[in-house]
Chains A and B, each alone.
Chain A
Amino acid sequence: MTNLFIAYVAAFLLPLMFHSWRVAVIGLGVQGALLGLILAAHHNPWSLSLFCEYANLFVIHALFVPWFLFRSMRGHEMASDFSLIAKNMVQWVGAFLLVALAFIFGSKVSPEDSLESLQVGTAAAAILIGLLVLSNQTHALGQIVGLLTFEGGVTLVELLSPHAMPLPVFLGISLVFVILVLTCGQYLGQLLSMPANGEEAEEKATL
């Protein structure tokens, strides 16, 4: 279990150091797969809810998200020096400090349970790194990666909750995630097609 959490932290930290949008997108898929493995390691009794949860993590998070983002990026040129956070020591140290802070937070809220402390720390780190990427990015794809990293952290908190969601509610949450990804893809295409320094066109619709 500990190794899975370490791998999850690596899955959202390593893309910060690779200057490639493809690595960032693949990182999202890896995070999804690891969330599925974390769920599997919980040894929950088999149920329809659990099956749906596996489908959500392995199919939607791990496969659909990267596939759809790659598809949305088709035909759009990306700068070769794409980076999720600014390429300097201050940002990298900042990212590691955030992760450290997240784990300190985890140990404060669960001082007696080392596993829960690790779980909370990992989720908090994913949320903070997602927000760091969002605050650094002006590129739509980078912002989507930041947002989905944040969402991954939220999903991890959800997995760790002692409260099992009723199936209709869980399906609702999954539906929201799928529509969010589809909407992000739609925006990605529109934002990348927008002229970078174009004149502000007057709104055509006055409705």
Chain B
Amino acid sequence: MIALLCAVVPLAGACLMRVPACRGRAASSVLVGTALVELLLSGVVAANRSPGSETYWLGRYFVVDATSLLFLLTISLVFFGITIYVRHRITAGLMPVAFEGFIARALLFFATCVLAVLSNHLIAMWVFLELGTLAIAPLIHYGRSPAALRASWKYLMFSVIGLGFNLIGLLCLARAMGGAHGEHELTFFIDGLQNIPSLGETLWWEIGLALMVFGLGTKLGLAPMYSWLPDAYDHAPPAITSMLSAVQFNCVMLALFREVSLLRSFDPDLISEELIVMGLLSISVAAMHIITTDNYKRLIAYASINHAGMIALGLGVGKNAGYGVVLYVISNAFVKAVLFMACGNIKAQFGTKQISALRGLIRVMPFSGWAFMLGVFALLGFAPFGSFLGEVIMLSNMVEGGYLLVFFFICIVLTIVLIASGRALFPMIWGDSGDEGPRVTEPLLSNAGSVLFMLILVSLGIYSPAAVSSLVSEVAATLGGR
């Protein structure tokens, strides 16, 4: 039941925003305190779990297994780092007044994410994902600019449609099983679905599967339904962009993992082609946008589409790429959080998101400059970060699995992305404009989260503690990998 507290704590934190004593400057302390307690609770849940075990509670609606635990720890860590960043922004007066509503919504959003991660019922998970979308959508236009409002509206429309398709997919799956096993044997409980003898009528589950993947693909920003992502990521406040890209992305990814692992237990090659096509399309589209954009935040948003595409490819390849996929997903949560928080610091200092207007970032803003630089290295798949290791495992498994054309295509696109990103971002980091201004003193708090995340990223790439490694392996095994 401690796991339940992981969702109750942020909910309680959101309620505290109504208490007068917790308003004003105290609100930021409540936010950080809530995130810290939640992180500690996640740690306790992890410490109490023995490898390979599954604990069910609240009528089997929730579960603590390897997959939910890994994602719970990841989003708790990321959220904690983001709250430190938010506190810095509030302290520095970089936030409009009346930020209690912002904090309350952010905490509500996080509570729904925790519940989605812990769900053992596919439709309950869908409900929490949808509630999370509705909680965070208004925060995208917290700045009240017309462009942000339009981006926020677009995000809402695409998310609701995407999740709608996912729900129809689940219902089609129920229809397939209903025809085969009779009504009383139907279930949406994940552990129950693992025990059914077959998926039932082929046509229905094929339709269901296609819609489920298409729906979650939309929510992840995979092509062809990706157009909401660059707009939402660009116009949202950096903390919200970090939550969307690192917290919500991982919750949706977990839903995809659950659905893929369930269906793969009936046929290991199921949906491979669909995922590979979506992945290739996504990385191609992202590469084209990366070449043409002159906005650093948008560039990272397109790189997120590229990452989603890589993950889809890794899942499509299946077999032993599982470990690489899981490592890549976890690493990318930290990479994106580092980059978007650095983007916020840069935007606050220079007042622009234009790449060509910025030079010598590392000299003017050493902390944020270094965070941005290391984040870009991790983004581009350089060693020694976890994303590098994940990418190498996925690519080597493509070769092993005989997907040579896919491998060559990816290598070409990744090279294009590397050159285009480097050409745009490296002068921004190291370039010399001659009038870059005096060096800025940055408080440690503004980059404390980034430092924590970089340490985790390096650790994931070089040496993971046995407990983490075994947890990742357990999750990879559910995807059919090792």
Task: List chain A positions with a Cβ less than 8 A from chain B.
Answer: 109, 127, 131, 134, 140, 143, 147, 150-151, 154, 157-158, 160-166, 168-169, 172-173, 175-176, 179-180, 183-184, 186-187, 190-191, 194-195, 198, 200-207
Contact = CB atoms under 8 A, between A and B. Distances in A.
Contacts of A154: 164, 167-168
Given A134-B157, A154-B164, A176-B127, A207 B238 contact: yes
B97 to A, nearest CB: 11
Interface in B338-361: 344, 347-348
Interface in B101-150: 102, 121, 123-124, 127-128, 130-131, 134, 137-138, 141-150
B171 A161 contact: yes
A167 to B, nearest CB: 11
B183 interface: yes
A176 B95 contact: no
Nearest to A151: B164
Nearest to A140: B153
9 contacts: A127-B168, A154-B164, A163-B174, A169-B123, A169-B127, A172-B131, A173-B127, A180-B160, A190-B149
A194 B149 contact: yes
Contacts of B203: 109
Nearest to A154: B164
B145 A204 contact: yes
Contact of B239 (A165, A204, A207): A207
B136 to A, nearest CB: 11
A109 B207 CA distance: 10
Interface in B234-275: 235, 237-240
A205 to B, nearest CB: 4
Interface in B390-448: none
A112 to B, nearest CB: 11
Interface residues of B, number: 60
A176 B344 contact: no
A91 B424 CA distance: 43
Nearest to A123: B168
A158 B169 CA distance: 11
B84 to A, nearest CB: 13
Contact of B124 (A164, A169, A179, A184): A169
A207 B89 contact: yes
Among A158, A184, A195, A206, chain B packs the most CB atoms within 10 A around the CB of A206
Contacts, number: 138
Nearest to A183: B134
Contacts of A176: 127, 130-131, 134
A201 to B, nearest CB: 5
Contact of B86 (A157, A184, A200, A207): A207
A169 B141 CA distance: 30
A204 B134 contact: no
B298 interface: no
B382 interface: no
B5 interface: no
A20 B459 CA distance: 61
A179 to B, nearest CB: 5
Contact of A200 (B147, B157, B239): B147
A162 B150 CA distance: 39
Contact of A157 (B95, B141, B171): B171
Contacts of B149: 187, 190-191, 194
Given A150-B164, A172-B124, A173-B127, A207 B153 contact: no
Contact of A198 (B61, B128, B146): B146
A169 B145 contact: no
A158 B164 CA distance: 11
B204 interface: yes
Nearest to B187: A163
Contacts of A169: 121, 123-124, 127, 188
